[in-house]
Structure 1
């Protein structure tokens, strides 16, 4: 049986993170992706990446309608390895922090928390106000992982793809998804005698 990962795309800027994850999972034989995209997420992806619904949904193994609270991923009996919300809007973060299962994204996230499965929120906002910070603390206390897409510069990125791939690689690491060439792993600083 394939491992399953739910990927949700919400309306924050950074749709490329969820899209790249879908692209990479489609190349891994033992993983199955389940996509849920909000209407705001679709609007942002269309604006930022010039992709339409069919192109985005074509990247996923299974697609769920954000309004379908009766979908398989809305139940704890649906076996999966976890969920990533990438990007995660502050509205979605707040809903997850307060247990507001008002659509399939927030319901599936609630399921991950109650079943003690891995939930990663790629929170995309800056600067952060106190409500954002408190909601991040709340979801962390509930068992989620907040993983803002903060670029690393030790790998000397030369293109946006380098920055995106590094973040996506780090997120996939959290689910032990095999990948290669996505990111340059830190190996420590060279000693002054080595330079």
Structure 2
């Protein structure tokens, strides 16, 4: 568990989550009507709260991204970031439990539409766990040039794994639909 306290790990996770929240918040701000429609499809909020939520959520994501970019802000930004991810997982899980088929989860920045699934719930739970790993006190050591390269490599691998997991989830859903 010492690895989870290493500043290289904490920095890579913080930057990766900042990238995720920043891109998500930016996309939602650029397409507020589309995000509002997605929120409405979940049918978890009263109609009068859908539009205010569609305005608030992107700013919460951008605030989490900004907090995660500040190195001393690991613990500060980890909690709201994890809370957002847990809220997304809960919204998806509730929709699945109620038997709703939601065609677009709203989490792919408009690049593709992906139906809400249990795999997406688990993905968000895993991401919230990553965010909460930032709450650990970092091991005290200076970061060097080599550490910067390792952080860049971990960040790149994390992005590739995230995109690969999303593709596998989407392909699983497509295969399931084709076999019906």
**Global fold match (TM > 0.5):** no
Structure 1 or 2: more helix by fraction: 2
> When the two structures are superposed, what TM-score results if normalisation uses the length of structure 1?
0.28
> When the two structures are superposed, what TM-score results if normalisation uses the length of structure 2?
0.29
Higher RCO structure (Cα 8 Å, ≥6 apart): 2
